[in-house]
Structure 1
Amino acid sequence: MDEVEVVVAHHERATVRVGEVFLKIDTDQTRIDVEVEAMARAPIPTARILWRKPPVLALAALPGTALGRIGEPSSASPAAWAAAGAVVRMLHEAPLPPWPSSRFEDLAARLDGECEWLVANGVLPADLVARNRRVAEAALQPSPRVFAHGDLQIGHVFVDGDQVTGVVDWSEAGAGDALFDLASLTIGHDEHLGDVVAGYGSDVDLDVIRAGWSLRSLLAVRWLLAHGFDPFAPGCEVDVLRSSV
């Protein structure tokens, strides 16, 4: 009998794996609606939907392994990272979905609120927060909307050898920001930024991508702490903030 593997679990949702099936459990069916519709529209490989019975969505496992994890060395080749960049470009060139990505709602106000909370609660030094808030400003500038994944962290991109086999977790997809997707993909793995950009195949502003690292990290710390994750682990969000210049 296959064992039940807990892939991720927190107060909002959980994903477990049983054999070759992933079961996503989410009481917010709006997120699942977005995920199903986004996967249907995306012109890149995604997990096959097996069935849906609220609050559970069953997905077939993708071949290969995740591109990596933040805070851990990636065993994927430079060619695999470049392939990920090429797949992201395909997504960004697809027709826009008719809804905005929830990731970008009230972004500046959310960032200010998170910065205030981090300082007021003594989670991070005020100068570290202020420096990264200034850096993050570049990632808040208006940009053309694209079909964005919205949460394109490397754990959501699966590769087999040098090929991308699929992208998962589409609940924050919608019309959004291209460079934020690229920042999410490369955060904590700046050594592969060049590979991703080479695969993406377009001139991009590297400073804006780096600003996205600060933006994503500042927005994530409180949520991670509240849901049992450790943003202070080596190579993770707080280290990203500390390395910002």
Structure 2
Amino acid sequence: MDEVEVVVAHSERATLRVGDVFLKVDADQARIDAEVEAMGLVPVPTPRVLWREPPVLAIAAVPGTALGRLGEPSPASPAAWAAAGAAVRKLHDAPLPPRPGAAGRDPGAAGRDPGALAAELDAECELLVTTGVLPADLVARNRRVAQAAFRPWTPAFTHGDLQITHVFTEDDEVTGIIDWSEAGRGDPLYDLATLTLGHEERLGDLVTGYGTEGGVDLDLDVIRAWWSLRSLLVVRWLAGHGFDPFAPGCEVDVLRSRM
């Protein structure tokens, strides 16, 4: 009998693996609905849905290996990263989905109102300093860098939580992109920033595959702004849900690299 592996678990959702089957348990049925709908619309490889029995979604494992993990060097080749960039470009060029996206912790998931997001960021920065989580100069510097993300942009079909562990490749080809619960209309540069968070040295390979032509204004300063913005917003949440944003190469190191 296959063992049950806990992939991730916190108070909002949990993902278990049993053999080649992933069981996603989510208290918010809207996230599961959004995930299944998105996987049926996107022009990129996704996991196969096996069955649904709320609050559980069962999906098949995708072949290949993830591009890497946050806090560790990526073992994937430059060609694999370029292939990932080409797949993300295909997603961003797809027709806009009917849903605006899930309003989760990921700041770019729903293409959120810039004013509301800026207000949330300011409040979070104040808490990071007053509670002693991060030094004031580190927070202030990254808040200035993050400002570049607040600019006019054209919505695209975005994944919304495109972490490095969510893109799988094999033989330098993308075999699957997983975890679509935050998918919707959003800022395409947020996807590129999330995928390269903590792996700045891979941004060039990703951009090579993504390309510079088309409707997306590929501003690298905005991608760097999203690195700061996303990290500032999630540090306290991660620490409170069993994750370690202070681990080498993770969110706090991303903030320190902007200094």
- Return the alpha-carbon distance in structure 1 between the equivalents of residues 83 and 120 of structure 2: 33
- Return the alpha-carbon distance in structure 2 between the equivalents of residues 52 and 89 of structure 1: 30
Structure 1 unaligned blocks of 5 or more: none
1:144 matched to 2:154? The reply is yes
Aligned to 2:145: 135
Q: Kindly, what percent of the aligned residue pairs are identical? A: 73
- Return the alpha-carbon distance in structure 2 between the equivalents of residues 110 and 58 of structure 1: 34
Aligned to 2:106: none
Which shows bigger deviation, 198-207 or 41-50?
198-207
Alignment of 1:182-193 (within 5 A): 182-193=192-203
Alignment of 1:58-137 (within 5 A): 58-101=58-101, 102=103, 103=109, 104-105=111-112, 106-137=116-147
1:155 matched to 2:183? The reply is no
Structure 2 unaligned blocks of 5 or more: 104-108
- Return the alpha-carbon distance in structure 2 between the equivalents of residues 160 and 117 of structure 1: 42
The one of 222, 230, 233 equivalent to 1:208 is 222
Which shows bigger deviation, 104-113 or 155-164?
104-113
- Return the alpha-carbon distance in structure 2 between the equivalents of residues 92 and 175 of structure 1: 9
- Return the alpha-carbon distance in structure 2 between the equivalents of residues 56 and 112 of structure 1: 36
Letter of the 1:244 counterpart: R
Letter of the 1:72 counterpart: E
Deviation sequence 1:19-66 (CA, Å, 0-9, x none) = 000000001101111111111111101000000001100000000111
Aligned to 1:238: 252
Deviation sequence 1:46-95 (CA, Å, 0-9, x none) = 00000000110000000011111110111110100000000000000000
Letter of the 1:75 counterpart: P
Deviation sequence 1:104-162 (CA, Å, 0-9, x none) = 43322221221111111110011110110110011121200000000001011111120
- Is the 1:76–1:161 contact (alpha carbons within 8 Å) kept by the matching residues of 2? no
Alignment of 1:6-45 (within 5 A): 6-45=6-45
- Return the alpha-carbon distance in structure 2 between the equivalents of residues 161 and 122 of structure 1: 46
- Return the alpha-carbon distance in structure 1 between the equivalents of residues 161 and 118 of structure 2: 17
1:49 matched to 2:49? The reply is yes
- Is the 1:70–1:236 contact (alpha carbons within 8 Å) kept by the matching residues of 2? yes
Letter of the 1:78 counterpart: P
Q: How many residues align?
A: 245
- Return the alpha-carbon distance in structure 2 between the equivalents of residues 58 and 82 of structure 1: 30
- Return the alpha-carbon distance in structure 1 between the equivalents of residues 181 and 120 of structure 2: 19
**Residue 202 of structure 1, CA deviation:** 1.4
- Is the 1:148–1:175 contact (alpha carbons within 8 Å) kept by the matching residues of 2? yes
- Return the alpha-carbon distance in structure 2 between the equivalents of residues 133 and 208 of structure 1: 13
- Is the 1:34–1:170 contact (alpha carbons within 8 Å) kept by the matching residues of 2? yes
State the TM-score, normalizing by the size of structure 2.
Answer: 0.92
Aligned to 1:169: 179
Letter of the 2:118 counterpart: A
Letter of the 1:131 counterpart: R
Secondary structure of 1:62's counterpart equals: coil
Letter of the 2:150 counterpart: L
Letter of the 1:21 counterpart: V
